[in-house]
Amino acid sequence: GYFHQRVTQCRYSSKDLQGIEFIDSYVFNQAEYIRFNSTVGKFVGYTEHGVKNAEAWNKGPELAGELGELERYCKFNAPIYYSA
């Protein structure tokens, strides 16, 4: 069988909201093939398939959706993270 996984995470390096990083990784059979990193600001491919997807997604609506996730998801939930 095949295994596909999508992992999203917020990395908090300080209590300053500027120190937050959003990462969205796509994994197939335990190998990450594409990643969006809010610090880089675009998708990066790690396999032949991932590079092709990254090129297409960086030109399409997928990029705009990912760019908004840092504000919508990470910064919105930061008070919960810092209170724990």
CA distance 5 to 3: 7
Give residue-wise pLDDT tens across range 30-43: 999 999 999 999 99
Threshold 0.95, pTM exceeds: no
User: Structural domains in the chain?
Assistant: 4-79 (3.10.320.10)
DSSP string, 32-73: EEEEEETTTTEEEESSHHHHHHHHHHTTSHHHHHHHHHIIII
Kindly report the number of other CB atoms within 10 A of residue 46's CB atom: 15
Give residue-wise pLDDT tens across range 17-69: 778 999 999 999 999 999 999 999 999 999 999 999 999 999 999 999 999 99
Greatest alpha-carbon span in the chain:
43
